[in-house]
Homo-oligomer: A and B are copies of this chain.
Amino acid sequence: MYMTSIDKTEEKATPSGVTVRWLLTEEAGAPLFEMRYFEIGKGRSTSGRPHPFEHEVYVVRGKGTIEGDGQTIAIQPGDAILILPGERHKFINTTDDPLGIICLIPKGKENELK
């Protein structure tokens, strides 16, 4: 068993101006998928680029929207979002408070953000 928390994990900047904390990783022994916490500050958004693998997202704090494939959807804590391989998706913070999301991907797919 391996345990960590958002508070114990190093916060890293990403090229799109949001931050990421890698919670459960291949390096910690995860066999198939990895868990990260992203925080999107006031006025910020994720890159919107599609990826050739899925994202599974759970909204932890804050409010915002997801833009993708012609839709804009409001999100709030308790929401869960499946983004399929190749789908465009941009998370946008629409408030003054941070928007925090848990985001899981197949292991090894975004090692450039580690």
- List residues of chain A with CB under 8 Å of any chain B CB: 1-7, 23-24, 28-33, 35, 37, 53-54, 56, 58, 60, 66, 68-69, 71, 73, 75-76, 78-85, 87, 89, 102, 104, 106
For the complex, what is the distance from the CA of A80 to the CA of B2, rounded to whole Å?
Answer: 8
| A5 adjacent to B80 (CB under 8 Å) | yes
6 pairs from A and B in contact (CB 8 Å cutoff): A1-B87, A3-B82, A4-B79, A23-B58, A32-B106, A33-B33
Chain copies in complex: 2
Instruction: Determine which of B3, B7, B28 lies in contact with A73 in the assembled complex, contact meaning CB atoms within 8 Å.
Output: B3
For the complex, what is the distance from the CA of A7 to the CA of B71, rounded to whole Å?
Answer: 22
CB distance from A61 to the nearest CB of B (A): 10
